Amino acid sequence: MTPLIVLTLVLMWQCVLTGYAYTLAGNAADEGVRAGTAVAPGAGRQGACEQAGLKDLSAAWREGAKVSCTPVGYVQADVSLKVPVLFPGSIDFPVTVHGHAGTVEEVKH
């Protein structure tokens, strides 16, 4: 009975970790878009967006993360994170979760 309980706990933990990866990817995309709209078009918007998207991720999550931003009128950020096996910083599943955020660029007068 003990191995079955341990296996169940491990599977539940992996499900929680996968859900947490989706949460981190969505938050990173939100932060990237927020930073991307704060910078004038063409003035390093891509760099600001990527930097803000990665800022709140710990080193273990940041390792396999990819942030891409489209800064044309409608600022969008896409974040991809790899799902780790049991804990971040170990090996990764061949599964990638994606977070997406976007907002309309506001013109400041």
What are the boundaries of each domain within the chain? Answer: 2-104
Residue-wise pLDDT tens digits, 16-60: 998 999 999 999 998 888 888 877 666 677 788 888 888 888 888
Reported confidence tier of residue 75, pLDDT bands at 50, 70, 90:
confident
Q: What are 69-75's contacts with CB under 8 Å, separation 24+?
A: 69/32, 69/33, 69/36, 69/45, 71/36, 71/41, 71/45, 71/46, 71/105, 73/104, 73/105, 74/102, 74/103, 74/104, 74/105, 75/33, 75/36, 75/37, 75/45, 75/49, 75/102, 75/103, 75/104, 75/105
- What confidence score (pLDDT) does residue 41 get? 64
- The residue-averaged pLDDT of 72-83 equals 84
Higher-pLDDT residue of 13, 73: 13
